[in-house]
Amino acid sequence: MNGRAQQKDGAGCSRITFVKGPRRVTDGQRIVITGIGLTAPNGNNLTEFRRNLVNGKSGVRKHNVRYLGDTIAGVCSHDPLKYQKKKDLRRGTRAGSTSIYCCQEAIADAKLDLSSVDKSRIGIFIGITEHGNVDTEKQIFEISQFNYDTKFVSHHYNPRIVANNPAGEVTLNMGITGPHYTLGAACAGGNLGLIQGCQMLLLDQVDIALGGGVSETIHAFGAFASFRSEGALASHEDPEKACRPFDKDRNGVVVSEGGCIFVLERLEAALARSARIYGEVVGYAINSDALDFILPNSEGQAKCMSLALKMAGLSPDDISIISTHATGTPQGDPQECKAIRQVFGDCRHTYINNTKCMIGHSMGAAAALELAGNLPSFEDHVVHPTINIDNLDPDCAFENLVVNRSRKIDKVDYILKNAFGMLGINSTVIVKRFEG
């Protein structure tokens, strides 16, 4: 049985000590990732995305937002007409369209032939930070052109803003008749979509889960304006340098759009069809700080990482890479670093990186995208860099923080993905390199 105790490390930091325990699962309870579909500000598929992450290439650029004018954002460039008609785009939402693109790409990547599988046994579980603000703002703008006469509110408004819209549009597009819903989890959404997919497989409610996250937030002014009012909206004369987690001069969040969906299957099903396996989901946890609307808290984050390690039957030293949540806010980044120190000490055996520095904060999609961008490390043993660190904040310094240039390491066995969000939601997912 796993146990935990507090001890002081050399730097006087209180550290959680682990006693490694066994992971008790049968093959039928082992969940693997067999397909990935994504769109990010710097890549429209995993190959392109990974290449740009390893090379430190940013996708953040200038972006114009209604009422705010020019700002900075991560904007995707995938072709939505690859899987939809123009009429579908007109009728649906950006989040729905992005979800369709990612789910279609994920199914294709998994080499699943939808005509030969039971579509009632496929579930769609999409994490979101928010949904509906884009179309609400559009409708209010629209009726403002008609003296706020509500008879000009579109009949399309309700189906666009219902919370299940992003997942529901996928069912319409792909003819999937199993369960579909979104998981509202602030910026932890992408992890929650994946976790929900695993749980529905374990409950035998589905045979294939499409789990991940999506965000259309850059098409609404509200998030930008609110971050600005909080003093948490990034600004920089060079958009590609605006998102700078762990750097002393970081000044806030770069809001981005994107999506990432994983195909999740039980191991035995994946092996039976000789599927390519990106990794095995061996641990996850979700908990709550119960402290503050906005501010993150290292204690809750450390507990969340510990719970995920416990589920996986791992000790911190087993983790090869921590893909951090850090968003580039002055308050948030040190909290996560403190939490990592609590669990991992000085991280002598674990490398740390951050993906938001290159794609901004893709909100509901962030966790899934950032995990996906690191999964190829199992094969190429390269840890992608955290760019834009010119003056490392001492509170965020780790010997194994991968700064500005990729680092080749001997072996990658486990990747830990953190994702935290407003109202104190914390989430951690651990993926293991699959050995056939």
Burial profile 274-293: b = 16 or more Cβ within 10 angstroms, e = fewer: ebebbbbbbbbbbbebeeee
Give the up-direction half-sphere exposure of residue 325: CA atoms within 13 A in the CB hemisphere. 38
Closer to other proteins by Cβ: residue 145 or 274: 145
Q: Does 151 bind other proteins (CB under 8 A)?
A: yes
CB contact set of 113 (below 8 Å; sequence gap of 6+): none
Residue with tokens 């998994």: 110
Q: Does 148 bind other proteins (CB under 8 A)?
A: no
Paired tokens of 283: 């641990």
- Give me the least distance between CB of 148 and other proteins, in Å please: 14
Closer to other proteins by Cβ: residue 92 or 332: 92
- Give me the least distance between CB of 411 and other proteins, in Å please: 51
Question: Binding to other proteins (CB under 8 A): which residues in 53-92?
Answer: 85-87, 90-91
Nearest alpha-carbon partner for 102 in 19, 24, 193: 193
- Give me the least distance between CB of 65 and other proteins, in Å please: 24
Question: Binding to other proteins (CB under 8 A): which residues in 89-128?
Answer: 90-91
Q: Does 147 bind other proteins (CB under 8 A)?
A: no
Name the β-bridge partners of 128: 184
CB contact set of 243 (below 8 Å; sequence gap of 6+): 58, 60, 234, 253, 254, 327, 328, 356, 357, 358, 359, 360, 361, 388
CB contact set of 47 (below 8 Å; sequence gap of 6+): none
- Give me the least distance between CB of 105 and other proteins, in Å please: 22
- Give me the least distance between CB of 159 and other proteins, in Å please: 9
Closer to other proteins by Cβ: residue 142 or 299: 142
Give the up-direction half-sphere exposure of residue 19: CA atoms within 13 A in the CB hemisphere. 6
- Give me the least distance between CB of 144 and other proteins, in Å please: 13
- Give me the least distance between CB of 135 and other proteins, in Å please: 15
Closer to other proteins by Cβ: residue 127 or 168: 168
Among 146, 175, 231, 273, binds other proteins (CB under 8 A): 146
The one segment of 13-21, 148-156, 324-332, 403-411 that binds other proteins by CB under 8 A: 148-156
Paired tokens of 151: 């008879």
- Return the number of other C-beta atoms located less than 10 Å from residue 203's C-beta: 8
Q: Does 154 bind other proteins (CB under 8 A)?
A: yes
Closer to other proteins by Cβ: residue 156 or 381: 156
Among 26, 27, 69, 155, binds other proteins (CB under 8 A): 155
- Give me the least distance between CB of 85 and other proteins, in Å please: 5
222-241 footprint of other proteins as x/- string (CB under 8 A): --------------------
Q: Does 138 bind other proteins (CB under 8 A)?
A: no
Q: How far apart, in Å, are the Cα atoms of 86 and each of 75, 83, 97, 164, 248?
A: 20, 10, 11, 22, 45
Closer to other proteins by Cβ: residue 92 or 252: 92
How far is 216 from 12, CA to CA, in rounded Å? 43
- DSSP annotation of 63 reads E
Provide φ and ψ at 211, rounded to 5°.
Answer: -125, 140
- Give me the least distance between CB of 186 and other proteins, in Å please: 32
Q: Are 371 and 364 in contact (CB under 8 A)?
A: no
Q: Are 184 and 162 in contact (CB under 8 A)?
A: no
Closer to other proteins by Cβ: residue 4 or 156: 156
- Give me the least distance between CB of 81 and other proteins, in Å please: 10
Q: Are 125 and 211 in contact (CB under 8 A)?
A: yes
Residues within the interface to other proteins (CB under 8 A): 85-87, 90-91, 146, 151-152, 154-156
